[in-house]
Amino acid sequence: MKKLLLLALLLLVVGLFFYLDLGAWFTLAQLKTQQSTLAAYRAEHPIGLALLYLLTYIGVTALSLPGAALMTLTGGAVFGLVQGTVLASIGASIGATLAFLMARFVIGGWVQSKFADRIAPFNRGIEQDGAFYLFSLRLVPVFPFFIINVVMGLTTIRVWTFYWVSQVGMLAGAAVYANAGTQLAKIDSLSGIASPSLLLSFVLLGLFPLVARKSLTWLRRRQDTSNSLR
pLDDT digits (tens, 9 = 90+) for 188-212: 776 666 656 555 656 666 666 666 6
Cβ count within 10 A of residue 36: 9
Q: What angle do CA 102, 103, 107 make, to 5 degrees?
A: 120
What mean pLDDT is predicted for residues 138-157? 84
Cβ count within 10 A of residue 95: 28
pLDDT digits (tens, 9 = 90+) for 84-138: 999 999 999 999 999 999 999 988 877 777 776 777 766 777 777 778 888 888 8
- Rounded to the nearest integer, the mean pLDDT of the chain is 82
Orientation of helix 28-44 relative to helix 46-62, angle to 10° = 140
Determine the pLDDT at residue 136.
82
Alpha-carbon distance of 195 to 181, in angstroms, equals 15
Is pLDDT of 213 > 70? no
Determine the pLDDT at residue 200.
62
Cβ contact 213:129 at 8 Å: yes
The alpha carbon dihedral of 176, 181, 185, 190 has a sign of positive
Secondary structure of residue 112 in the 3-state scheme:
helix
Determine the pLDDT at residue 206.
60
In 3D, which of 89, 80, 19 has the Cα closest to residue 57? 89
pLDDT digits (tens, 9 = 90+) for 28-74: 889 989 999 999 999 999 999 999 999 999 999 999 998 888 999 99
Threshold 0.85, pTM exceeds: no
Is pLDDT of 227 > 60? no
Determine the pLDDT at residue 123.
74
Secondary structure of residue 1 in the 3-state scheme:
coil
Alpha-carbon distance of 4 to 90, in angstroms, equals 29
